[in-house]
Amino acid sequence: MKNAEIASMFERIADVLELKGENNFRINSYRKVARVIGDLTHDIKEIAEAGKLEDIPGIGKSHAEKIEEFLQTGRMSKYEEVMEGVSEETVTMMHISGLGPKTVIMLNKELGIERISQLEEAIKQGRLKGLKGIAEKKIENILKGIKLFRTSQERIALGVAFPVVNRIVNQLKDVKGVSAIQPAGSLRRMKETVGDIDILCAGKQGRKIIQSFVNLPEVSEILAAGVTKGSVRMDEGLQVDLRVVEKDSFGSALQYFTGSKAHNIHLRDIARKKGLKISEYGIFREKKKLGGRLEEDIYKKLGMELVPPELREDRGEIEASQEGRLPKLIELKDIKGDLHVHSNWTDGSSTFEEIARYARKCGYEYCVISDHTKSTRIAHGLDEERLLKEIEEINKINKKLSGDGFRLIKASECDIKNDGSMDISDKVLAKLDIVLGAIHAGFKQSKEQITERILASIHNPYVNIIVHPTGRLMSQREGYEVDMDKVMEAAAKTGTALEINSFWDRLDLNDVNARKAKEMGVKVAISTDAHHLDQMWMMQLGVGVARRAWLVKQDIINTWPIKKLLEFCKRKTKHKT
Ligand SMILES: [Zn+2]
Ligand SMILES: [Zn+2]
């Protein structure tokens, strides 16, 4: 898909126009186009081919022409014209806090600075001193900004940060003087990667609270410790800031620091039109404070429902909230069982009984045992014979468990082979309750081949869920190329679900694809792919992705009663596809 590339070109055009001091209206229209394209759930090429570019809100005739030109020729003359004589890094520099377009232009003119490293060098040599508008303080701020920019480039996976932050919150919530504590920022929005972490706390005796925070055992370095704010680096390298605010402003501060930027800008706009002002301290009319203790206060005074944090990306949630049609998002407590867990029969570490006991402790009614099949050799995948034995063994355990309402579900994470056939014969697949189809090899096949492979497995009457549908590993590789539209179309038609794999490094489907799945009528499974019991908590991450995708309980097959789930799986065999 060219969506991201085209979005960043429009973003760049807006940046350069801003550098050149063009009028705000034009700049903003390009920024809006960038954001709208970045959020699209469909391939922009297909929209263009259907002649529907201008149906996208925010995209006018001239934007559409530029997009068409790029799709047809691989070039966009407007972009080339604007970028003429401007270096990429100069454009990046204007986003560094303490700089801004005017300073960047001045530094370029006076000192020929085009790069961040040149700027640092110039500061070191004292060459900025005496330039117009550059006081000592300003130089300090620029240096701070550069440092901040560098760390912001290093984002951390949500699943790495999440448990660390939970531990901090759990340790601080009982500290004397703390009346409320809550993480904010992209972590609260469950974005798949997070930058620095902001935790907000309402309470008195700020200094004492901050001291408890900076002295937590996992802190590796104290960066700052004041009365209302402390800042530390944790063992994982994560920077965490704790702010102590007045009880009276806790809600507004939480709203403010949760973001996203786009969401908050849109809210401020609505406030302005109503003659109101919102800030981290509250919502105001003139000097009069109308609210701020609760997050709801802000939204209510703006005539809106409280928007769940995961939706706050300005992707239509504000309008939905104004019109009272926010979805009732899926919650962790709706999940009735994990649909993808490995046991010690292959590369997992736990026995069936251990898994059953643990799943019950998670409040589940069932848990799916889905071990690998023979093609995945490193995992000692099962062949037909061993899989049949596994089925027998699970039957025995279930007999033992019967009476307390919990059961293990017999499944297999069956490899989709290079030619699209399944790794286990249909005869044996037929004996399972659920079959997961997975690609673990042949990633370098062409988009067409991979797509055909997945389509073939979707058309196998025994395959119920395609797991980790794009194969990405966030820390290591992008996924294989696959035509998601075709996959989703077939999945919807055949009653095959797609997985949100909750494993921290996968989160696959991601939020954009999961939202698209819903739009295309595909049912979604949320599962952990746990190989150890202490990985089953990651269900929360998958639920976060689903919430970001606007999914509700009915969209997710493992929120259904077990009977309905198994019927959904069996239905496919009845109506052979
Ligand atoms: Zn797998
Ligand atoms: Zn797996």
Contact between 175 and 242 (Cβ < 8 Å): no
In this structure, which ligand is nearest to the CA of 471?
1
Please give the distance, rounded to the nearest whole angstrom, from the Cα atom of residue 466 to the centre of ligand 2.
Answer: 11
Please give the distance, rounded to the nearest whole angstrom, from the Cα atom of residue 456 to the centre of ligand 1.
Answer: 18
When pLDDT is averaged across residues 503-526 and rounded to a whole number, the result is: 97
When pLDDT is averaged across residues 517-542 and rounded to a whole number, the result is: 97
Domain covering 332-574, topology? TIM Barrel (3.20.20)
Whether 576 shows a pLDDT value over 70: the answer reads no
When pLDDT is averaged across residues 409-415 and rounded to a whole number, the result is: 98
* DSSP conformation letters of 119-152: HHHHHHTTTTTTSTT--HHHHHHHHHHHHHHHHH
In this structure, which ligand is nearest to the CA of 338?
2
CATH tag for 89-153 (out of 3.40.50.720, 3.40.50.80, 3.40.50.800, 1.10.150.20): 1.10.150.20
Please give the distance, rounded to the nearest whole angstrom, from the Cα atom of residue 162 to the centre of ligand 1.
Answer: 23
Instruction: Give the span between the Cα atoms of 148 and 103, in whole angstroms.
Output: 18
**In this predicted model, what pLDDT tens digit does every residue of 146-159 receive, in sequence order?**
887 776 667 889 99
Contact between 405 and 365 (Cβ < 8 Å): yes
In this structure, which ligand is nearest to the CA of 411?
2
Please give the distance, rounded to the nearest whole angstrom, from the Cα atom of residue 504 to the centre of ligand 1.
Answer: 13
**In this predicted model, what pLDDT tens digit does every residue of 363-372 receive, in sequence order?**
999 999 999 9
In this structure, which ligand is nearest to the CA of 348?
2
pLDDT at 404: 75
pLDDT at 196: 82
pLDDT at 577: 44
The domain segmentation of the chain, as residue ranges, is: 3-86, 89-153, 156-245, 250-322, 332-574
| Structure-token pair, residue 115 | 């790069």
Please give the distance, rounded to the nearest whole angstrom, from the Cα atom of residue 284 to the centre of ligand 1.
Answer: 52
Please give the distance, rounded to the nearest whole angstrom, from the Cα atom of residue 96 to the centre of ligand 2.
Answer: 41
The domain 156-245 having CATH identifier 3.30.460.10: the answer here is yes
Please give the distance, rounded to the nearest whole angstrom, from the Cα atom of residue 289 to the centre of ligand 2.
Answer: 53
Please give the distance, rounded to the nearest whole angstrom, from the Cα atom of residue 254 to the centre of ligand 1.
Answer: 38
Phi, psi torsion values for 28, nearest 5 degrees: -65, -35
For 177, the 3-state DSSP assignment is coil
Lowest average pLDDT, out of 31-35, 241-245, 329-333, goes to 31-35
In this structure, which ligand is nearest to the CA of 415?
1
Please give the distance, rounded to the nearest whole angstrom, from the Cα atom of residue 537 to the centre of ligand 1.
Answer: 18
**DSSP designation for 157:** E
Domain 3-86 matches domain 89-153 at the CATH topology level: yes
Please give the distance, rounded to the nearest whole angstrom, from the Cα atom of residue 14 to the centre of ligand 2.
Answer: 43
Please give the distance, rounded to the nearest whole angstrom, from the Cα atom of residue 144 to the centre of ligand 2.
Answer: 44
**In this predicted model, what pLDDT tens digit does every residue of 133-146 receive, in sequence order?**
888 888 988 998 88
Please give the distance, rounded to the nearest whole angstrom, from the Cα atom of residue 376 to the centre of ligand 1.
Answer: 9
**Mean pLDDT score across all residues of the chain:** 93
Contact between 311 and 515 (Cβ < 8 Å): no
Please give the distance, rounded to the nearest whole angstrom, from the Cα atom of residue 484 to the centre of ligand 2.
Answer: 21
Please give the distance, rounded to the nearest whole angstrom, from the Cα atom of residue 413 to the centre of ligand 1.
Answer: 7
In this structure, which ligand is nearest to the CA of 531?
2
Q: How far is CA 170 from CA 102, 164, 191, in A?
A: 45, 10, 21
Please give the distance, rounded to the nearest whole angstrom, from the Cα atom of residue 342 to the centre of ligand 2.
Answer: 6
Please give the distance, rounded to the nearest whole angstrom, from the Cα atom of residue 468 to the centre of ligand 1.
Answer: 7
CATH architecture entry for 3-86: Orthogonal Bundle (1.10)
Phi, psi torsion values for 145, nearest 5 degrees: -60, -40
- The pTM is what? 0.78
pLDDT at 575: 61
Please give the distance, rounded to the nearest whole angstrom, from the Cα atom of residue 209 to the centre of ligand 2.
Answer: 42
Instruction: Give the span between the Cα atoms of 292 and 349, in whole angstroms.
Output: 49
Please give the distance, rounded to the nearest whole angstrom, from the Cα atom of residue 385 to the centre of ligand 1.
Answer: 21
CATH architecture entry for 250-322: 2-Layer Sandwich (3.30)
pLDDT at 152: 61
Phi, psi torsion values for 202, nearest 5 degrees: -105, 130
Please give the distance, rounded to the nearest whole angstrom, from the Cα atom of residue 511 to the centre of ligand 1.
Answer: 19
Whether 297 shows a pLDDT value over 70: the answer reads yes
Please give the distance, rounded to the nearest whole angstrom, from the Cα atom of residue 235 to the centre of ligand 1.
Answer: 30
In this structure, which ligand is nearest to the CA of 371?
2
Please give the distance, rounded to the nearest whole angstrom, from the Cα atom of residue 509 to the centre of ligand 1.
Answer: 13
Whether 231 shows a pLDDT value over 50: the answer reads yes
Whether 386 shows a pLDDT value over 90: the answer reads yes
Please give the distance, rounded to the nearest whole angstrom, from the Cα atom of residue 325 to the centre of ligand 2.
Answer: 36
In this structure, which ligand is nearest to the CA of 369?
2
pLDDT at 94: 85
In this structure, which ligand is nearest to the CA of 508?
1
Q: In 3-state terms, the chain is what percent helix, strand and coil (to 5)?
A: 50, 15, 35
